[in-house]
Chain A
């Protein structure tokens, strides 16, 4: 398959009534996703053109700073340039690992992922040890959120996924209890179409689930059937211009009927039901940025980026040798392939 032709075949960027994206933070996100897709597709990218020499936005939240830092690291920037650009340092990274909120582990883990990529890239032994200690703390609570609203399988898988690159790279021990809980989560989450959310997948959660599955496979769990079904799903949902944010599923009533026969927690049930009946109809905002808007069925730079890595992870963990124009990139975070 010539993904270069597919991905750049037609418009795959975010649009807001076809208006150009104009906020600087949003432009940066677009450049990052575009640069990473080009890297995966073996196209040369000129890093100098992607980010300006100094920080341009005041008042960026930790979430934004660390989230973007992980994208910039994967793009191949030197750590010093990234830290300078985002006005952060190693101490700040260590601080977010020491003091954190466990209310919503998905949210916190996004920040942690950035901090962990910085620490991994820095290769500082003490920092790596401290990070490993924090992960062991989280292992005791199975990476679960403490607030009722955020408990459940989907939140736990999405949270754990953000730690996988660091855990896998530094070979950190994860308890059997957590591993079997994650295995049960994924077994419950996968539907008859092969995706992990209703109606038929949500690009972010699909990537999270596939990476965690690959990690479980490495730890000896028999997840091949689940990976094969997801590979089938990934192929079925590829469109003329790539993978969309949400793929078409069965009709709403059938999706809901299937969901009703497969309830593991009330939070996951409500989350999926909302997706089936409400979210697929409304506009989607990537990371809450008003300029990064798309219809749920649109193919965006982010959904294609996630779709590509999901596919690479699938063929990698199923040991399928296939000739195509995509490649694994050296990643510390979102593009990490187990």
Chain B
């Protein structure tokens, strides 16, 4: 049986939310948690978690890099080739059945429907196929599971979007239409804080695919995102 490892990066801004994720994961047997300290001192994490929780966390790598893609790659190297990785963030809550699903092949990226807890309400994020994905991201990276992958280290943000787009275009994306994770969006989280950089990352991912093979819809999607970025910069 494959080992199941949760890749859980945590930074200083989301340290308080970590208790929710660790609590949620503690309802599930036979998983390992790999906490990745991102721009965060290890001692802060140790103070946040109880002794009992710390004993259940398999690994706390203390890497010096601040590039999340690099950290995610390094963390994966600690485990065997047969390990299935589950990408989560601090504050995420998991359904007890989430870890019963795994990608069918080493090339596949398995994703599922997610719940987003925003400031005012919950939203259900549904993947509506390749073309819709170009205009509206229906995937939440906390729904990703995979065998070892190589995150593109030139991306400081949106590295998961880049990964998913690559898998969509190589037809290695598997989708489960079940809500298995809840992502708590925090004002301090990277997604909202660096919205402009995320859009830029998303444009670059699309450009990469466009270089491989021209597609009109991809071209329109890039234009669309450029307008979105311009509007965002104006608003700022």
- Interface positions of A (Cβ within 8 A of B): 1-2, 192-193, 200, 228-229, 231-232, 235-236, 238, 248-251, 315, 318, 320, 322-323
Contacts A236-B182, A318-B96 given; does A231 touch B27 at CB 8 Å: yes
For the complex, is B154 an interface residue (Cβ under 8 Å from A)? no
Q: How far is the CA of A200 from the CA of B182 in the complex (A)?
A: 14
Contact assessment for A192 and B26 in the assembled complex, using a CB-CB cutoff below 8 Å: no
Contact assessment for A192 and B96 in the assembled complex, using a CB-CB cutoff below 8 Å: no
Q: Mark B92-107, 1 if CB is under 8 A from A, else 0.
A: 0111110000000000
| 5 interchain residue pairs of minimum CB distance | A1-B23, A236-B182, A232-B95, A235-B93, A251-B121
Shortest beta-carbon distance from A274 to chain B in Å = 18
For the complex, is B167 an interface residue (Cβ under 8 Å from A)? no
Contacts of A235 in B (CB 8 A): 20, 23-24, 27, 93, 182
Contacts A2-B50, A236-B182, A323-B52 given; does A200 touch B122 at CB 8 Å: yes
Contacts A235-B23, A248-B121, A249-B121 given; does A193 touch B115 at CB 8 Å: yes
Contacts of A250 in B (CB 8 A): 121-124
Contacts A2-B50, A193-B122 given; does A315 touch B27 at CB 8 Å: yes
Contacts of A322 in B (CB 8 A): 26-27
User: Chain B: which residue is nearest A200 at the CB level?
Assistant: B122
CB contacts under 8 Å to A, within B4-36, are 19-20, 23-24, 26-27
Q: How far is the CA of A270 from the CA of B122 in the complex (A)?
A: 22
Shortest beta-carbon distance from B118 to chain A in Å = 9
Contact assessment for A236 and B26 in the assembled complex, using a CB-CB cutoff below 8 Å: no
- Interface positions of B (Cβ within 8 A of A): 19-20, 23-24, 26-27, 50, 52, 93-97, 115, 117, 120-124, 179, 182
**How would you classify the secondary structure of chain A's contact residues: helix, strand, loop or mixed?**
loop
Contact count A vs B, C-beta below 8 Å: 54
Q: How far is the CA of A315 from the CA of B28 in the complex (A)?
A: 11
Contacts of B95 in A (CB 8 A): 228-229, 232
**How would you classify the secondary structure of chain B's contact residues: helix, strand, loop or mixed?**
mixed
Contacts of A248 in B (CB 8 A): 117, 120-122
Interface pairs (5), CB distance under 8 Å = A192-B124, A193-B115, A228-B95, A250-B123, A318-B96
Contacts of A323 in B (CB 8 A): 26, 52
A1, A2, A232, A315 — which one has the most chain B CB atoms within 10 A of its CB?
Answer: A232
Contacts of A192 in B (CB 8 A): 124, 179
The listed residue (B52, B96, B122, B124) touching A228 by CB distance below 8 A is B96
Contacts of A231 in B (CB 8 A): 27, 96
Q: How far is the CA of A249 from the CA of B24 in the complex (A)?
A: 20
Q: How far is the CA of A232 from the CA of B19 in the complex (A)?
A: 15
User: Chain A: which residue is nearest B115 at the CB level?
Assistant: A236
Shortest beta-carbon distance from B89 to chain A in Å = 14
User: Chain A: which residue is nearest B26 at the CB level?
Assistant: A322
Q: How far is the CA of A200 from the CA of B179 in the complex (A)?
A: 15
Contacts of B93 in A (CB 8 A): 232, 235-236
Contacts of A238 in B (CB 8 A): 20
Known: A235-B23, A249-B121; 9 extra A-B contacts, CB below 8 A, are A1-B19, A2-B50, A229-B95, A232-B95, A236-B117, A248-B120, A250-B122, A322-B27, A323-B26
Contact assessment for B52 and A320 in the assembled complex, using a CB-CB cutoff below 8 Å: no
Contacts of A251 in B (CB 8 A): 120-121
Contacts of B117 in A (CB 8 A): 236, 248
Shortest beta-carbon distance from A319 to chain B in Å = 11
Shortest beta-carbon distance from B226 to chain A in Å = 29
Contacts of A229 in B (CB 8 A): 95
The listed residue (B26, B52, B182) touching A232 by CB distance below 8 A is B182
Q: How far is the CA of A150 from the CA of B124 in the complex (A)?
A: 32
Shortest beta-carbon distance from A5 to chain B in Å = 9
Q: How far is the CA of A193 from the CA of B96 in the complex (A)?
A: 15
Contacts of B26 in A (CB 8 A): 1, 322-323
